[in-house]
A and B are shown apart, each in its own frame.
Chain A
C-alpha cells in the first residue's frame, strides 16, 4: 500500500542476466498472449488509480461543496480553487511545514541510519546481532501500533518519558506533549525517525559489506585518517545506494499522514499541525469542500513530482539500460 511504504523491505530481487532471461519468445508478430496476461493488472490500476487521478484533476476545477453533496450539479469554476488556495497564507504555511518536516526527518533518519551502519562494522558479532534484532523489531511494527505505543510512552500522566525526565531533575510532571505544535512535531519526528532508521541502516550496511577491504587497508597504510578514509573511500563507494535511500526517505516523509493524523486525534490541534496530507483529508472528507481539497491534492502531487524528478530520471535511465 502506498501509505505503508515506510515498511518496504530493503530486499530487492536481483535480476541477473536480464538479457539472457527475457527471451524474444514472440518472433511470431503481435503475439496477443502478453497483453492478455497484463490486462487484469492494467485494468485494476486504471480503474482504482488512473480514473481517480483524472477525476481529481477535473474536480479541482469545479465547485464541489456541500450543495453538490446534496445533488446539485458541480459548477465549473476554472482556476478559482487554485487562485483561492495559492493566495491563502494557510496553504503556504502547511506547505512550508510539510517540506520542513520532511527535510528534518529525512536528514535525521539518514544521519542516524548511515552512522549506525558504519558503526556496526566495528561491533563485536554478538552486539551487532543484538542491535540488528532491535532494529528489525522497530522496522516490523505496524505504524498504528507504534503510534499507540509512543503515545503511551509520552502520556501526560503515566508516560515513561515524563517519568524519566522528572527523575533526571527536569520539571516534566504532567507535561502534555501534543498540546503545542513544536513538541507535537517533536513526538511525530521521534516516531517517524524511529521507524525509518532500520531500513536505512540495513540497506547501507549491506552496501558497506560489498566494499573491497584492500582499498581501505591500502589507505590506512598510506596514513589516511579515519575521517579521510570515510569521506574519500567509503562514502563515495556507496554513493549510489545512499542516493536512492535518501530519495526514498524524502518521498516517504513528504507524504506522512497516519502519524500526524493519529496524533492530532489524540489531542493535537489540527489547524496548527496539519501537513498537506491531513489538510486534504480535513478539507475534503472532513469539511465536504471536495473541489478545494482536490486542488490541494493536485498541488501535492505536483510537489512530489518536482521533488522526485531526479530520482525518476535516474531510474528511467537504469531501466532503459537493462
Chain B
C-alpha cells in the first residue's frame, strides 16, 4: 500500500494533504498577512486576503513603542544569560553522565526524566515566594534562575545523547598517542560535539524566548516584561485593539523562532548521524 497506492486512494490522500497544509499554515499566513494591512483594511468586515498595497507602518509603530524595545531588551538578556549558564552546566553534567560510571548515575538520569513531568504551574507559587524573599522579582537574574532549572533537564538529556554519539575509542586512541585525558577530550570529542551544542543551544533559546508562565509570575512590573508578556497584554484591551500592530509584533517574535526551528531540525538530525557514522 505504501509503495503503490491505487489511484483513488492517492487522490484522496493528496486531498487530505492539501487540506492539512491549508489548516496548518493558514494562521501563520494570516499573521504575516495582517501585519502588512493598514487600519482600514483591518477594520473591514470583508477580510483582505492578500496584503496588496500593504506597507510597513505596523512594524514601524511596534518599534516606536517603548514597551516593545524594553521587552526586547529584557527577553534578549534573559534568554542569553539562561543559555550561557544552562549550556555550561548541562555540558559538564552530560559529560559526567556519559563518560563516567559512578554511584548515583542512574538515579540522576531518572531524576532528570521525572523532573520534566512536574508541571510548572504546580511550582510557581513557591518560586515566586522564593524570589520575593531574595529581592529577585522583576530582575533578569531572578527569571534566569528559574529558566535555567527549567531548561536544564532537557538540555542535559539531549547533550548526553550527543556525547555518547562520539565513540570513547577515539579518546582512548588519542591517549595512547600521549594525550592526557583532558587533552584527549578537548581535542577529539569536543569539536565533534559542536553541532550538538549548537542544536541544543537553539532549542534552549526557543524555550526561553517563548516562555510565558514564569515570566508572568516573576516579571510583574510593566517595564520588565519579556516579549511574550508584552504581546499578551497588548490584546487584553478589547476596545480599539490595534490588530495590525499586534500581528506585526507577533510576526517579529515568531519569525526568528520559526527560522531557527527549521534550521535546527536538520542540524539535530545531521549532528546525530555524524556521531553515529564516525563510530
- A and B physically associate: yes
Report B61-119 residues with CB < 8 Å from chain A CB: 85, 88-90, 92-93, 95-102, 105-106, 108-111, 113-119
The answer to whether B92 touches A149 (Cβ under 8 A) is no
The answer to whether A59 touches B126 (Cβ under 8 A) is yes
Query: Pick the contact of A119 from B13, B30, B207, B212 — CB < 8 Å?
Result: B13
Question: Within 8 Å CB of A276, what residues of B?
Answer: 121
Question: Within 8 Å CB of B20, what residues of A?
Answer: 116, 131, 134-135
Report the number of A-B residue pairs with Cβ-Cβ less than 8 Å: 388
The answer to whether A53 touches B99 (Cβ under 8 A) is no
Q: Does A13 reach chain B (CB closer than 8 Å)?
A: yes
| A128 vs B217: C-alpha distance when bound (angstroms) | 42
Shortest Cβ gap from A274 to chain B (Å): 12
Q: How does the 8 Å CB contact mask read for A270-293 relative to B, with 1 for contact and 0 for none?
A: 000000110011001100001001
Q: Does B187 reach chain A (CB closer than 8 Å)?
A: no
Nearest residue (CB) in A for B28 is A137
Q: How does the 8 Å CB contact mask read for B36-69 relative to A, with 1 for contact and 0 for none?
A: 0000001111110000000000000000000000
Q: Does A89 reach chain B (CB closer than 8 Å)?
A: no
| A7 vs B127: C-alpha distance when bound (angstroms) | 23
| A10 vs B236: C-alpha distance when bound (angstroms) | 34
Q: How does the 8 Å CB contact mask read for B1-31 relative to A, with 1 for contact and 0 for none?
A: 1110100011011101110111111011011
Q: How does the 8 Å CB contact mask read for B169-209 relative to A, with 1 for contact and 0 for none?
A: 00000000000000000000000000010000001001111
| A215 vs B22: C-alpha distance when bound (angstroms) | 34
The answer to whether B206 touches A7 (Cβ under 8 A) is yes
With known contacts A4-B207, A153-B30, A285-B217, A56–B126 Cβ distance under 8 A: yes
Q: Looking at chain B's contact residues, is the secondary structure mostly helix, strand, loop, or mixed? A: helix
Question: Within 8 Å CB of A265, what residues of B?
Answer: 232-233, 235-236
Question: Within 8 Å CB of A158, what residues of B?
Answer: 42-45, 47, 243
Query: Pick the contact of A52 from B123, B196, B210, B228 — CB < 8 Å?
Result: B123
Report B124-144 residues with CB < 8 Å from chain A CB: 124-130
Q: Looking at chain A's contact residues, is the secondary structure mostly helix, strand, loop, or mixed? A: helix
Interface size on B, residues (CB 8 A): 127
Query: Pick the contact of B18 from A42, A116, A127, A304 — CB < 8 Å?
Result: A127
The answer to whether B1 touches A48 (Cβ under 8 A) is no
The answer to whether B261 touches A139 (Cβ under 8 A) is yes
Q: How does the 8 Å CB contact mask read for B210-251 relative to A, with 1 for contact and 0 for none?
A: 111110110000000000100111111010000100110011
With known contacts A34-B96, A119-B16, A16–B165 Cβ distance under 8 A: yes
Query: Pick the contact of A140 from B18, B156, B247, B258 — CB < 8 Å?
Result: B258
Question: Within 8 Å CB of B148, what residues of A?
Answer: 44, 48
Question: Within 8 Å CB of B146, what residues of A?
Answer: 48
The answer to whether A1 touches B121 (Cβ under 8 A) is no
| A211 vs B2: C-alpha distance when bound (angstroms) | 10
Query: Pick the contact of B158 from A1, A5, A13, A135 — CB < 8 Å?
Result: A13
The answer to whether B1 touches A229 (Cβ under 8 A) is yes
The answer to whether A45 touches B253 (Cβ under 8 A) is no
Interface size on A, residues (CB 8 A): 122
Nearest residue (CB) in B for A18 is B164
Question: Within 8 Å CB of A34, what residues of B?
Answer: 96-97, 100, 102, 105
The answer to whether B24 touches A194 (Cβ under 8 A) is yes
Report A132-171 residues with CB < 8 Å from chain B CB: 133-153, 155, 157-158, 160, 163
The answer to whether A13 touches B162 (Cβ under 8 A) is yes
Question: Within 8 Å CB of B247, what residues of A?
Answer: 148-149, 152
| A13 vs B203: C-alpha distance when bound (angstroms) | 14
Q: Does A300 reach chain B (CB closer than 8 Å)?
A: yes
Query: Pick the contact of B93 from A40, A138, A139, A149 — CB < 8 Å?
Result: A40
| A12 vs B14: C-alpha distance when bound (angstroms) | 29
| A40 vs B87: C-alpha distance when bound (angstroms) | 11
Shortest Cβ gap from B182 to chain A (Å): 10
Q: Does A75 reach chain B (CB closer than 8 Å)?
A: no
With known contacts A11-B269, A38-B108, A133-B21, A149–B250 Cβ distance under 8 A: yes
Question: Within 8 Å CB of A143, what residues of B?
Answer: 210, 212, 228
Question: Within 8 Å CB of B3, what residues of A?
Answer: 213, 217
The answer to whether A48 touches B145 (Cβ under 8 A) is yes
11 contacts between A and B (CB under 8 A): A7-B210, A37-B96, A40-B92, A138-B25, A142-B206, A145-B254, A149-B28, A213-B2, A265-B233, A266-B238, A294-B126
User: Taking beta carbons and an 8 Å cutoff, which residues of B are in contact with A?
Assistant: 1-3, 5, 9-10, 12-14, 16-18, 20-25, 27-28, 30-31, 34, 42-47, 85, 88-90, 92-93, 95-102, 105-106, 108-111, 113-130, 145-154, 156, 158, 160-162, 164-168, 196, 203, 206-214, 216-217, 228, 231-236, 238, 243, 246-247, 250-251, 253-254, 257-258, 261-262, 264-265, 268-269, 272, 275-276, 279
For the complex of A and B, the 4 pairs showing the least CB-CB separation, nearest first, are: A13-B161, A48-B149, A277-B121, A134-B24
